[in-house]
Every structure is written in structure tokens, then in C-alpha cells.
């Protein structure tokens, strides 16, 4: 399975400077360990602060392994700093609109990735139809303190559609492959195996990676599923 680390520096102890130090350190550990995707998701930061951290994170990722760095929500910022892509939420532009913006950019990136957060199989199909590269379905399992009800493995199966042929109507991306769905929300290593069996192409998480003592071992186990 593929791995997708989503950052949250607020989970680290210490003052703001220490949290940012730990954030970049964890990004480096994740990239070195072979994590496939890293989403910079520091939603509380002002644009200039986010841009500064994004540039630092991108430098770290470029020097360590082959991870792709995506910026949460801000397509403009992702394009400006030269990130590998953007992760869209339900309230953002559609993937097709982001691709149009990328094409109009003064320095368009041919490999710019577009991931989309989804909360149902229907939303996954919509993201696919708009040319997203992959979707992140959440929450698959119940999370402590969360108000949102878990979607469950049956909805993940519907979203992944293991036996479905690729949709040739997809506006962008490779129509010759099945659309990838990542599972997020209450994921543990044991639950990751269930997600794999349900058709998930990858596992996304925050605590799963930030609290892992050995990220390389975690990535290796996920790849073996």
C-alpha cells in the first residue's frame, strides 16, 4: 500500500518554534523512510508563514527520498512554491478548475498532482470525473473525540470499486488505470490490512506517522499489505 503522511505541528509539544522544528524533522524522517506523499496541512498559519514552511519542507523533501509534497487547500501557493501538488477539500475548487489554473500559470508543472478529500463513494466518483489523481476517503473508522460518524469498510469498498473498469470519461489523468482511494480516519496498522482488503490503494494519517517510533518500519509494513 502507498503511504500518505498528513502534517499537524499542533500535536507536537513546546512553543511555536519547537513545533515547527519538530514538524520539519518529522517531514525529513518521513521522506527518508520512503513515505510516498506528504501533505502540508497547517491550516492555522497565515499565508506568508505557510509559504515559508512550505519552501523549507519542499527543500527537505527534495533532498530526502522521492516523496511528493502536496499543499492543503492552497492551489495558488502550491504552484508558487513549486510543490508537487495540492490537496483539495470539499469547499475548494474542483480538480478540473485547478488543472485549468495550472495550465494558465506562468510556470506550469507537468506533473502537478491533485488529491481530493471525500466523505462518500459518490464524492469519490465526482472527484474522479473532474480529473483528480486520487481521493482520500474519511473517516473510515471511528476516531476518539470526533463527532463525524465513521463511514466503514463497506463504503470504502464502494468507493474503491475493485472490479470496476477504468472510466474513460475521466477528464484528466491516466484513464487506463483504476482510480486510487486512500483510507483516512482512525487507521491503525491492523486496520490498514482491512482497508487493503476493501480495495484501498493507500493509507493516509496524521498520528499514524507522527507518533510512529520507526516510520521506515511502518512504511515497509504498509507496502507489504
pLDDT in tens, 118-138: 999 999 999 999 999 999 999
- Neighbouring C-alpha atoms within 13 Å toward the C-beta of 166: 14
Predicted confidence band of residue 93 (pLDDT cuts 50, 70, 90): confident
pLDDT, position 78:
95
pLDDT value at 174 more than 60: no
Cα 223 from Cα 189, distance rounded (Å)? 11
pLDDT value at 142 more than 50: yes
Element (H, E) at 2: strand 2-6
Torsion angles phi and psi, residue 24, rounded to 5: -65, -35
pLDDT value at 193 more than 90: yes
What's the residue count for the chain?
Answer: 225
pTM > 0.75: yes
pLDDT value at 113 more than 70: yes
Least confident of 27-36, 99-108, 181-190, 204-213: 99-108
Ordered by where they begin, the domains of the chain are: 2-223 (3.20.20.70)
Predicted confidence band of residue 144 (pLDDT cuts 50, 70, 90): low
Predicted confidence band of residue 115 (pLDDT cuts 50, 70, 90): very high
Element (H, E) at 180: strand 180-183
Element (H, E) at 87: strand 85-88
pLDDT value at 172 more than 50: no
Contact (Cβ atoms closer than 8 angstroms) between residue 1 and residue 31: no
Torsion angles phi and psi, residue 178, rounded to 5: -70, 150
Predicted confidence band of residue 176 (pLDDT cuts 50, 70, 90): very low
pLDDT value at 159 more than 70: yes
Contact (Cβ atoms closer than 8 angstroms) between residue 9 and residue 21: no
CA 14 from centre of chain: 26
- Give me the mean pLDDT over the 37-41 stretch: 98
Element (H, E) at 71: strand 68-72
pLDDT value at 175 more than 50: no
Amino acid at each position: 500500500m502507498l503511504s500518505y503522511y498528513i502534517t499537524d505541528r499542533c500535536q507536537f509539544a513546546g512553543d511555536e518554534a519547537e513545533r515547527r522544528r519538530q514538524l520539519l524533522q518529522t517531514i525529513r524522517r518521513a521522506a527518508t523512510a520512503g513515505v510516498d506523499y506528504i501533505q502540508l496541512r497547517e491550516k492555522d498559519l497565515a499565508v506568508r508563514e505557510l509559504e515559508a514552511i512550505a519552501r523549507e519542507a519542499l527543500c527537505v523533501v527534495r533532498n530526502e527520498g522521492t516523496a511528493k509534497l502536496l499543499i492543503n487547500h492552497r492551489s495558488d501557493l502550491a504552484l508558487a512554491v513549486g510543490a508537487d501538488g495540492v490537496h483539495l477539500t470539499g469547499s475548494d475548487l474542483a480538480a478540473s478548475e485547478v488543472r485549468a489554473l495550472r495550465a494558465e500559470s506562468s510556470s506550469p508543472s507537468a506533473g502537478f498532482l491533485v488529491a481530493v478529500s471525500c466523505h462518500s463513494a459518490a464524492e469519490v466518483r465526482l472527484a474522479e470525473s473532474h480529473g483528480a489523481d486520487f481521493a482520500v476517503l474519511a473517516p473510515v473508522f471511528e476516531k476518539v473525540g470526533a463527532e463525524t460518524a465513521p463511514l466503514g469498510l463497506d463504503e470504502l469498498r464502494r468507493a474503491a470499486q475493485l472490479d470496476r473498469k477504468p472510466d474513460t470519461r475521466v477528464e484528466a489523468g491516466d484513464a487506463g488505470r483504476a482510480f486510487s482511494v486512500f483510507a483516512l480516519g482512525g487507521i491503525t496498522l491492523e486496520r490498514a490490512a482491512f482497508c487493503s482488503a476493501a480495495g484501498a490503494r493507500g493509507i493516509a494519517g496524521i498520528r499514524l506517522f507522527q507518533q510512529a517510533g520507526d516510520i521506515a518500519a511502518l512504511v515497509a509494513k504498509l507496502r507489504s499489505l
